[in-house]
């Protein structure tokens, strides 16, 4: 006979259900907005599927079966918000099918001005695991600059020093074409976020006209996926992202990707 699932912390359950992040759930508990079986919830409370959970008096439904909450690989256009904001502006998440979730969380989101490969899921627990895992993955960007990188700029990028005193691991910089005033480069990094790379480029006074993420671990931005579209990751693709990876040397830069270039 199968054992009943062990009770879990309330914050973890709400995150897994896609209702809130753990931090948001903690704030709701402190504000007295959450209840368990009619009593006010407390930090540290654990619940199971038989418990009745309410937010501001409204029932939070816990399905007896685990809901399908896929991870979506999205091709976001530069400037298009990934998630809805208070102003109700158009966003990529608002265009997704309702069956994939109501409240999306992003994994290592890019700055608004940039675009390319983004990951979204309504499974808060999985989003957190993926966020931690991608910091050890090879992340590849396609970069368009005005002019060409000077030797001192390239050396500064390779050094990887960030404002906070830490270093970003840059595995390689490869010219990727371009003529006249615009040139493309592929930059291979270890676990870099878009904000990290932007900061690194700004420190070297690089005039960036476009920055796209084209690879995240084993995932690539395929030419067959137009801007503004998405696809669901296969279970084996999710497992590959979560699998621990061996250290990558600077000479092991990821191969080029057809998504780079003008």
- Quick check: 256 pLDDT over 70? no
| pLDDT value of residue 187 | 97
State the DSSP code for 50: T
pTM of the model: 0.70
pLDDT digits (tens, 9 = 90+) for 84-141: 776 667 888 888 876 665 678 899 999 999 999 999 998 888 888 999 999 999 999 9
Q: Please, what are the domains in the chain? A: 8-60 (3.10.290.10), 68-262 (3.30.2350.10)
Mean pLDDT to the nearest integer, 37-41 = 92
Strands laid side by side in the 39-40 sheet: 39-40, 34-36, 53-55, 58-60
Q: How confident is the model at residue 247 (pLDDT cuts 50, 70, 90)?
A: low
**More confident call, 246 vs 248:** 246
pLDDT digits (tens, 9 = 90+) for 179-223: 778 999 999 999 999 999 999 999 999 999 999 999 999 999 999
Mean pLDDT to the nearest integer, 65-80 = 81
Q: How far apart are CA 46 and CA 7, in angstroms?
A: 6
Q: How far apart are CA 128 and CA 16, in angstroms?
A: 10
| pLDDT value of residue 5 | 65
Residue matched to tokens 């090879």? 138
Q: Which residues pair with 212 in a beta bridge?
A: 115, 142
Q: How far apart are CA 170 and CA 108, in angstroms?
A: 17
The mean pLDDT value of the chain amounts to: 85
Residue 90 CA to its chain's centroid (Å): 19
| pLDDT value of residue 88 | 63
| pLDDT value of residue 133 | 93
């Amino acid at each position: 006979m199968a054992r009943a699932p062990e009770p879990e912390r309330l914050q973890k359950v709400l995150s897994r259900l896609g209702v809130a992040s753990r931090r948001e759930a903690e704030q709701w508990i402190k504000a007295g907005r959450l209840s368990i079986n009619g009593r006010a919830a407390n930090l540290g409370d654990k619940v199971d599927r038989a418990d009745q959970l309410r937010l501001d008096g409204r029932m939070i439904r816990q399905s007896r079966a685990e809901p399908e909450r896929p991870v979506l690989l999205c091709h976001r256009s530069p400037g298009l918000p990934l998630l809805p904001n208070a102003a109700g502006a158009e966003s990529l998440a608002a265009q997704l099918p309702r069956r994939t979730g109501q409240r999306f969380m992003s994994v290592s989101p890019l700055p608004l001005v940039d675009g390319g490969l983004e990951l979204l899921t309504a499974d808060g627990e999985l989003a957190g695991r993926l966020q931690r895992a991608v910091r050890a993955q090879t992340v590849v960007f396609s970069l368009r600059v005005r002019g060409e990188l000077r030797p001192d700029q390239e050396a500064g990028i390779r050094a990887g020093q960030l404002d906070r005193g830490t270093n970003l691991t840059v595995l390689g910089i490869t010219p990727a074409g371009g003529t006249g005033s615009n040139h493309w480069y592929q930059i291979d990094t270890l676990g870099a976020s878009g904000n990290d790379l932007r900061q690194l480029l700004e420190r070297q006074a690089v005039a960036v006209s476009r920055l796209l993420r084209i690879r995240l671990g084993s995932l690539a931005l395929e030419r067959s996926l137009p801007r503004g579209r998405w696809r669901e990751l296969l279970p084996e693709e999710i497992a590959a992202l979560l699998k621990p990876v061996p250290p990558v040397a600077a000479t092991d830069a990821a191969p080029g990707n057809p998504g780079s270039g003008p």
